[in-house]
Amino acid sequence: MFGLIGHLTSLQHAQAVAQDLGYPEYADQGLDFWCSAPPQIVDSIKVTSITGQEIEGQYVESCFLPEMLANRRVKAAIRKILNAMAHAQKHGINITALGGFSSIIFEEFNLQDNPQVRNIKLEFERFTTGNTHTAYILCRQVEQAAPKLGIDLSQATVAICGATGDIGSAVCRWLDAKTDVKELLLIARNQERLRNLQAELGRGKILGLEEALPLADIIVWVASMPRGVEIDPEVLKKPCLIIDGGYPKNLATKVKHPEIFVLNGGIVEHSLDIEWKIMQIVNMEVPGRQLFACFAEAMLLEFEKLYTNFSWGRNQITVEKMERIGQMSVKHGFKPLLSS
Ligand code: NDP
């Protein structure tokens, strides 16, 4: 049995879908109420691989909302993630992906130091961040979508916003080692971490967002922003490929320009229909087949009976591990999303 721990993108989103999730009494409630709401299993899932193998899973709604971070409700945010993990473990789930902000909160607040949740001692090998598969899928999206727009990687400048993050640093490693991309632009706020990444890669320019955007042929957004940013399409190169891997999305509004192509980043499409309702609730375009790559990682580990925290800790993702999860992804019928 695999598990997925997820959350909604905003209080407004949570109120709008409370009924569909099975708790209509939450629909009129404000942030205080959501801060004290317990985790719940809201969906049972069946997935069939193209090999014919079938697996079952459960979706745990953590009731975390990004507003909790934006409004300094950090203790509530931490409680949400630990309670959701304990809930998954209590239900005997072998391997659970920590979706969206779950893994970010886990790492940021060193939750590995708090394994005891009431009477449950968390067994961390039952959890994976799913970030190795997400990083792999983002890189395949870069490699496969760029030529379709006439962008030649060997001549291309790629800006990675969130470059020092777990996913961003893995994307940088892959683009450096596995492609002939011309230039990498590294964007984040903490300068020391940027310099460390630059030293590890032996390349890459450290730039602010405003300086970097007009230089980039491809922009990979993987910053952990509770709210998206606005960008002016006029400042971007034409054509420009933007791969938005954030959850919630890093771009606040859809960029509408005929020469700017925005792709939902870190999303996979399965070759067969999945039995579940949760992707409809999070407004996935093709909810029967499309899903977050981090969730697909838990499915892949279940298919392979690899009950281990495959993705764990920050900035530990190697190109070899990305290749390994990539082989499993192809074997079981997942493909990177290439249409917007
Ligand atoms: P991390 O916390 O490890 O990294 C976040 C990165 O973003 C860091 O480099 C951080 O650096 C940077 N950052 C944060 N705020 C800003 C800002 N305002 N401006 C510029 N840079 C910023 O996160 P992950 O790598 O784990 O996740 C990244 C994103 O991917 C998140 O939005 C997450 O929800 C999403 N995600 C998507 C998945 C999918 O399946 N599609 C799966 C898992 C995650 P600094 O703090 O120095 O600025």
Is the pLDDT score of 301 beyond 80?
Answer: yes
180-209, pLDDT tens digit by residue?
A: 999 999 999 999 999 999 999 999 999 999
Mention every residue, 6+ apart, whose C-beta is less than 8 A from residue 94. 1, 2, 126, 302, 307
Q: What is the pLDDT of residue 264?
A: 94
Mean pLDDT of 72-79: 94
- Helix axis angle, 131-148 to 166-178, nearest 10°: 50
Q: What is the pLDDT of residue 228?
A: 86
Is the pLDDT score of 340 beyond 80?
Answer: no
Distance in Å, CA 172 to ligand 1 centroid: 14
Mean pLDDT of 201-229: 95
Nearest ligand 1 atom to the CA of 108 is 2
Q: How confident is the model at residue 227 (pLDDT cuts 50, 70, 90)?
A: confident
Instruction: Evaluate: CB of 165 within 6 angstroms of ligand 1.
Output: yes
Sign of the C-alpha dihedral, residues 171, 166, 72, 74? Answer: positive
Cβ count within 10 A of residue 84: 28
246-282, pLDDT tens digit by residue?
A: 988 888 788 889 999 999 999 999 999 999 999 999 8
106-134, pLDDT tens digit by residue?
A: 999 999 998 999 999 999 999 999 999 99
Q: What is the pLDDT of residue 252?
A: 79
Instruction: Evaluate: CB of 168 within 6 angstroms of ligand 1.
Output: yes
Is the pLDDT score of 91 beyond 90?
Answer: yes
Closest CA to 95 of 304, 291, 288, 332: 304
DSSP at 149:
T
Q: What is the spatial distance between Cα 2 and Cα 116, in angstroms, rounded to a whole number?
A: 22
Q: Whose CA is nearest to atom 42 of ligand 1?
A: 294
Distance in Å, CA 33 to ligand 1 centroid: 27
Domains of the chain: 2-131+269-331 (no CATH), 135-266 (3.40.50.720)
Q: How confident is the model at residue 73 (pLDDT cuts 50, 70, 90)?
A: very high
Instruction: Evaluate: CB of 247 within 6 angstroms of ligand 1.
Output: yes
